[in-house]
Amino acid sequence: MNIIVLTGGNSAERNVALASGRSVAKALRDAGNSVKVIDPIYGAAQPDEDKIFSDKPAIGKEFPTAEELHRYSSRKVMECINSDLFDNADIVFLALHGKFGEDGRIQSLLEMRGVEYTGSGVTSSAMAMDKNISKIMFNHYAIPTPKWFMLKKGDMAEQQVDENIKLQVGYPAVIKPNDEGSTVGLSIVQPDVEDVQLGKALSDAFEYSDNIMAEEYIEGRELTVAVIGGEALPVVEIKPKSGFYDYVHKYTKGFTEYFCPADLPDKLAEHIQKQAITAHNALGCEVYSRVDFRLNSKGEAFCLEVNTLPGMTELSLVPKAASAVGMDFTGLLNRIIELSLNK
């Protein structure tokens, strides 16, 4: 099969995407496929594969700043998709994350180009990337989700934000961009020190989006569920060795422990898996996704978000869950491709 692995891109999750792309390309090539790696930020004139994968700092250290990302042109992305690079592809495997990769824009360009691609379609990708819309849909389908409210850049002074947090979600509060992943721009503002932490948290989030979310922090356990072909894989529990599950803990080997299946009563695990499927379907997702939860001390699960293009690195959660049911990494990729070609 002729497969293009589309990776990199011009989002704050570029480094993560390149790590996913490298893993995916190697596995598909080892399985006997003809694989071409393309990074859309280079346009129609693609460098060799080694150059593509070298254009990133070490994953797990820092994500690119908004200023650094300005060097990548969206016009180059359109030039790339419209070029003859895609003429003989049977399918494009999307190893992209964040804006311009996971939010429906690349999916739209590929559909107009008449090229098959992996994962969810345009509308569901856009809805899942928009945390506010996702949570509105969760409420509609009776999926518990933490309380939240939205902030637009320039609309509210810090003191007013503080007052609204106290009234609507309480402290600790999660401050995050409305349309980023991998905890890019995310902070947890603690009670009693909010006067010190809130200003920086707002500044960090607004660096990556003009619309940010203030969300209730659910004290408890971090869980996630992969949904593939309409079925939920075992629940994975995530335990950072210190702090919270931020960008560094996600992508630095040894900083976090993972347990799959999670140590949960069977009925609770089944309930969370059903909630994951409901969330996946509520947003109209196709093929596969990863649904993130927090579990409080009362055993109540709260859905945070749905990831339509979850990570595919050696530390990624979907491959861990697939492995727990006897599906190796190549088998997982083949399943994603098979489902995508038949959606």
Catalytic residue IDs: 13, 182, 251, 290, 292, 305, 307, 311
Burial of 46 (0-12, 13-18, 19+ CB in 10 A): middle
User: Residues 150, 151, 157, 158: is their CA dihedral positive or negative?
Assistant: positive
CA angle 161, 165, 171 (to 5 degrees): 130
Given a contact cutoff of 8 angstroms between Cβ atoms, the answer to whether 13 and 45 are in contact is no
Strands 288-295 and 231-232: unpaired
The 3-state secondary structure of 48-104 reads CHHHHHHCCCCCCCCCCCHHHHCCCCHHHHHHHHCCHHHCCCCEEEEECCCCCCCCC
The CA distance from 318 to 299, in Å, is: 23
- 213 is written with which tokens? 């979310």
- Cα 12 to Cα 185: distance, rounded to the nearest angstrom: 9
DSSP H helix total and E strand total for the chain: 13, 13
CB contact at 8 A, 8 and 14: yes
